[in-house]
Amino acid sequence: MAEPKDLEGLAAEYVLGTLDRGEREDVEQAIPADSELAGLVAGWERRLIPLALALEPVTAPPHLRDKVMAAISGSAAAPDNVIAIERRANRWRGAAVASWALAAALAGVILFRPPEVLEGSRYVAVLQSEGPGPAFIASVDLASGTISVRPVSATTPSGKSYELWALGAGRDKPQSLGVIAANFRIPTETLGKVDSAALGDTLFAVSLEPEGGSPTGQPTGPVMFTGKLVATE
């Protein structure tokens, strides 16, 4: 088989762990957009993983748990510039959404999907600043009637709060959706009348406010992130 085209060999060696740093990074960056490579890697993970699962468990140092829990609360998480959003049910479309999200994140704003795909019940917005910085994922689940906003790698400066706003789609001024806390959820009623088309036009924004939220009911601090929704299911 021709050396440069040996995608299978590359995937196998990636999973085996023998690629050098640059090659590994190439593979990791290519996977979200290359479904063939992703499939080959998944196949090799499946073939070889029994070896890893057969290892005798080793208790991790007890202090590590606190560090991990602190890391996911945002205080120590490494900035993650690239956030892939993927449809679970539909791989190729997932890849398309991921590249949309990536391209849009680089532009600073998430574009919305064309209205006809806003038929599903789950939508997602990546709220991300330009460059390496904190990010949030906002997802809307119409079935359960909730919006949840999850900090991916956001650190709140002390004495400040992040507040989520909805703009556009018939609103004449920004509507506060509340202050973002851990595992932050908002009932969709808060958004007012929710129909799919309007949801696709809604722009979400996060501003930095005094602790506890804006005292005026309107954004007073800098707008850190903006994003629109994309359908995920």
List residues near other proteins by CB under 8 A: 6, 8-9, 12-13, 15-21, 24, 28, 42, 44-61, 64-65, 67-69, 71-73, 77-78, 80, 83-86, 88, 137, 139, 148, 150, 152-153, 182-184
Q: SS3 of 67, please?
A: helix
Instruction: Give least dist CB 17 to other proteins, A.
Output: 5
| Nearest-angstrom CA–CA distance, 143 and 84 | 23
Of 104 and 167, CB closest to other proteins? 104
Of 142 and 198, CB closest to other proteins? 142
Instruction: Give least dist CB 232 to other proteins, A.
Output: 8
Residues 191, 143: contact at Cβ < 8 Å?
no
Instruction: Give least dist CB 94 to other proteins, A.
Output: 8
Instruction: Give least dist CB 40 to other proteins, A.
Output: 10
> For 120, which DSSP code?
S
Instruction: Give least dist CB 52 to other proteins, A.
Output: 5
Q: Which residues contact 100 (CB under 8 A, 6 or more apart)?
A: 110, 111, 113, 230
Of 58 and 170, CB closest to other proteins? 58
**Assigned token pair, 124:** 């997602």
Instruction: Give least dist CB 156 to other proteins, A.
Output: 15
Q: SS3 of 26, please?
A: helix
| Nearest-angstrom CA–CA distance, 222 and 46 | 47
Of 81 and 220, CB closest to other proteins? 81
Instruction: Identify the H or E element spanning 125.
Output: strand 122-128
Of 88 and 173, CB closest to other proteins? 88
Which amino acid, residue 41?
Answer: V
Based on its alpha-carbon atoms, the radius of gyration of the chain, rounded to whole angstroms, reads 20
Of 50 and 215, CB closest to other proteins? 50
